[in-house]
Amino acid sequence: MAGLGQPPEEIRTEAVRRADSQGKPVYIYRDGEEWRIAAKLTALPPGAQSWEFRPTSHRSETENFGGC
């Protein structure tokens, strides 16, 4: 399949943890075959496709822990 797809669940979970601990958004991007987490958009390679993860406190209450 072409394209990057979505980051794996464990990477998304770690990104949320880091965003919560830092109190600001973090970004997931793909570096070749590896998924990486960056604290700043400026740390991403030029042209990298990225996903932003905001701290839990910046999301709605139902989005935080739905189903847990």
Tens digits of residue pLDDT in 19-47? 999 999 999 999 888 999 999 999 999 98
> Would you say residue 4 lies in a domain?
no
Examine residue 14 and state whether it is found in any structural domain, yes or no: yes
Task: Please determine, for residue 3, whether its predicted confidence score (pLDDT) is greater than 60.
Answer: no
Helix, strand or coil for residue 65?
coil
pTM of the model: 0.73
As for how many domains the chain has, the answer is 1
Domain ranges, residue 18:
9-60
Other CB atoms within 10 A of residue 18 CB: 19
Q: What is the mean pLDDT of residues 2-30?
A: 90
Q: In what order do the strands lie in the sheet with 34-38?
A: 34-38, 26-31, 50-53
Q: Residue 46: inside a domain, yes or no? A: yes
DSSP alpha helix (H) spans, the chain? 9-22, 61-64
In a domain, 65, yes or no: no
Give the pair of three-digit tokens for residue 48: 């990298």
